[in-house]
Structure 1
Amino acid sequence: MTVVLKPDDLAALCRAVLARAGVLPAAASSVAGALVAAECMGIASHGVARLPQYADQVAAGKVRGDAVPRVETPLPATVRVDAGCGFAYPAMEAGLAAAIPLARRMGCAALGVTNSHHCGVAGLHVERAARQGLVALLFANTPAAMAPWGGNRASLGTNPLAFACPAPGSGPADDSEPDPLVMDLSLSTVARGKIVAAAREGRSIPEGWAVDGDGNPTTDARAALGGMLLPFGGAKGAALALMVELLAGSLTGSNHAYEASSFLDAAGPPPRTGQCMLLVSPDAFGADFAGRAAALLGHVLDQPSTRLPGARRFELQREAHREGVAVPWSLHEDLVRRARGA
């Protein structure tokens, strides 16, 4: 049973929940916008189902609802943002507002966010830069969920990375602003949020996603949450997760995965994870990036049954804005109750 809402109405409900929990208006708007965007793109594991967890964490002090991101430029082409143990979304927005002009002026810029939290759909952040004409690469570390290759203790996060660039001509013919090319992937075989959703709904998971607490393969979502996720690509995926840990954790001065508390509950101190983003102007190397990218993407799309990464998200997003977003009835009731302070 679901409730269908217009995206703007769902965002307003989310803002009301966050405001009731004690989140400042600007941060509430940023978080609500990101969660609803995820919902519209069909990524419910990172959508409004996260909101009760977020609100509980604010109430417990694990996330600071009154945090205001502090933006610094320690070097000419670098931006550092201290999220202040608040939400990652407003910190990323504040950092990009400073880093995008720098990348245009300098040819490239690096953005580091520390004392942060769950950044949601990583692709949303790089998409924002790509729509401003830049090439962007994001690395984010998360609480420990995977062992290093050959290890037996959760030491690395699922550690998503995302890439986006302007993609001329890739959007629908009647769209004045073509969709950028967006790639967004977790370095575990599957994002932890999908296992959380399966556990909540009482569904099993495919074998190969995770192992239980004893290290045995499992299809039980709850057992998987008590064990460890498996890296995609075996040793190569684990190596990439370590790389992201160094870039998002070590480089920004944030907690490493094994030091961070969970994004999923209100227990413990703030996770203090980090995000690192690289922005490059297409003009930086004096090449015809737009022309070369269009040639490559055209070559890919000229083959049967191909589509560009991320294209499905934009199709779903347009559909959601036409037809509304379906939210589980029980979740909607919970959000309404929280918004009313009941």
Structure 2
Amino acid sequence: MKRIPFDQLQQTFKHILLQLSFTEEKAALCAGIFAANSRDGVHSHGLNRFPVFVQYIKDGLVNPSAEPELQSSNGLIETWNGNLGAGMYNATKAMQRAITLATDNGIGCVALQNTNHWMRGGTYGWQAADAGCIGICFTNAIAGMPAWGGAEPVLGNNPLVIAVPRTKGHIVLDMAMSQFSYGKMQEYELKHEQLPVPGGYDDAGNLTTNPSAIRANKRALPIGFWKGSSLALVLDIVLTALSGGRSTTKITADKKEYGVSQCFICLRQPDMHDALVEEILAYTKSSQPAMPGGRISYPGENTLRTRVQSEKEGVLVNEEIWEQVLQLK
């Protein structure tokens, strides 16, 4: 791993996207999200994912010129069609629309069908929190996890994001329904490391810390065992019911992850009771760390810490993947 300036990373991404028929606006937005993900330590959905994104464009699975379109409106719930556009662009637009609805009405919901991978879901939680809203968003995905009691992958890891605005640093929960996201397992694999705790099953059905085995057979371990399995299923059902878009069943049938469904919800009120929120955080962090030198952090706190370090010292990148990206210029 080595460090490079954030601006260099962002401009490299943008230059490549402009060559792939992205407009200046879209190239800047998508490049900024890829670079910010790596800056914040989410390498799996930053630099590491960029070559895959480029290939999806070349394969015609991501349409650089597509714009999201309003399909229907039911009170404060809107359904949009992403038209297979860039997932980060569509997600940003959808969350902004939910923010607008919430700003005017206190609540807003945008269901998005026929879109693409949003990369780091937390991006849109931070977006909502920056606008002073509580943000909730979730997406479905290609099957990569068995249902509890099953042996074959039939559930997506269907990430869920919940963000709460806070003056001292937003609270942003960004979690897959599997113990480790596939991107995080790739990071361990690239470093030739085992997972710190079991993250899935090997081919014999035994729990394993081997990320390569799990990524190969797609038998990731659900968080909370049967609870995570159930939550992944229900999120997919809610997404399909609200958006009318493709479920994990349909996405998986095509063998490649595109045309997914997503939902963006914003809540806003003048008084978010900041003092009460601080009381909760203070109580949580008052616990003695279980390990000497350990630290108790709220969701999003480590992200902010990594962001500050990256802005000061440069963004950590995998040298091999960075060279791959430079060859795309």
Task: Return the TM-score normalized by structure 2.
Answer: 0.89
| Matching residue within 186, 199, 205 for 2:176 | 186
Runs of 4+ in 1 over 6 A off after TM superposition: none
Q: CA deviation at 1:320?
A: 0.8
Task: Give distance in 2, aligned partners of 1:32 and 1:138.
Answer: 21
Q: Deviations over 1:264-315 (max 9, x none)?
A: xxx85662111112211134xxx66333323322333344443222101011
Equivalent residue for 2:117?
Answer: 118
Equivalent residue for 1:167?
Answer: 166
Asked if 1 retains the 8 angstrom alpha-carbon contact of 2:95 and 2:265, the reply is no
Paired residue secondary structure (1:80): strand
Please tell me the residue identity of whatever aligns with 2:231.
Answer: L
Equivalent residue for 1:176?
Answer: none
**1:302/1:217 CA distance change after superposition, 3 Å:** closer
Q: CA deviation at 1:326?
A: 2.4
Please tell me the residue identity of whatever aligns with 1:127.
Answer: W
Equivalent residue for 1:274?
Answer: 261
**1:186/1:68 CA distance change after superposition, 3 Å:** same
**1:12/1:71 CA distance change after superposition, 3 Å:** farther
Task: Give distance in 1, aligned partners of 2:151 and 2:244.
Answer: 26
Paired residue secondary structure (2:44): helix
Please tell me the residue identity of whatever aligns with 1:276.
Answer: C
| Matching residue within 238, 245, 249 for 1:258 | 249
Q: CA deviation at 1:161?
A: 0.5
Asked if 2 retains the 8 angstrom alpha-carbon contact of 1:85 and 1:270, the reply is no
Equivalent residue for 1:149?
Answer: 148
Task: Give distance in 2, aligned partners of 1:104 and 1:237.
Answer: 32
**1:269/1:85 CA distance change after superposition, 3 Å:** farther
| Matching residue within 303, 322, 330 for 2:320 | 330
Paired residue secondary structure (2:316): strand
Please tell me the residue identity of whatever aligns with 1:240.
Answer: L
**1:320/1:288 CA distance change after superposition, 3 Å:** closer
Structure 2 regions of 5+ residues with no counterpart? 289-294
Asked if 2 retains the 8 angstrom alpha-carbon contact of 1:249 and 1:273, the reply is no
Q: CA deviation at 1:12?
A: 0.7
Please tell me the residue identity of whatever aligns with 1:146.
Answer: M
Q: Deviations over 1:124-151 (max 9, x none)?
A: 1011111111111111111101111112
Q: CA RMSD in A?
A: 2.3
Asked if 2 retains the 8 angstrom alpha-carbon contact of 1:255 and 1:271, the reply is no
Q: CA deviation at 1:336?
A: 1.6
Structure 1 regions of 5+ residues with no counterpart? 172-178
% identity of equivalent residues: 24
| Matching residue within 297, 309, 316 for 1:307 | 297
Task: Give distance in 2, aligned partners of 1:154 and 1:214.
Answer: 14
Equivalent residue for 1:241?
Answer: 232
Task: Return the TM-score normalized by structure 1.
Answer: 0.86
Equivalent residue for 1:40?
Answer: 39
Asked if 1 retains the 8 angstrom alpha-carbon contact of 2:140 and 2:262, the reply is yes
Asked if 2 retains the 8 angstrom alpha-carbon contact of 1:261 and 1:271, the reply is no
Asked if 2 retains the 8 angstrom alpha-carbon contact of 1:188 and 1:229, the reply is yes
Paired residue secondary structure (1:238): helix
Please tell me the residue identity of whatever aligns with 2:260.
Answer: T
Task: Give distance in 2, aligned partners of 1:270 and 1:239.
Answer: 21
The reply on whether 1:109 has 2:99 as its aligned counterpart is: no
**1:290/1:198 CA distance change after superposition, 3 Å:** closer
The reply on whether 1:27 has 2:11 as its aligned counterpart is: no
Equivalent residue for 2:49?
Answer: 50
Asked if 1 retains the 8 angstrom alpha-carbon contact of 2:142 and 2:257, the reply is no
Equivalent residue for 1:174?
Answer: none
The reply on whether 1:230 has 2:216 as its aligned counterpart is: no
Aligned residues between the structures? 322
Q: CA deviation at 1:85?
A: 0.8
Q: Deviations over 1:84-132 (max 9, x none)?
A: 1122111111122222121022111111111112112211101111111
Q: CA deviation at 1:50?
A: 0.5
Equivalent residue for 1:175?
Answer: none
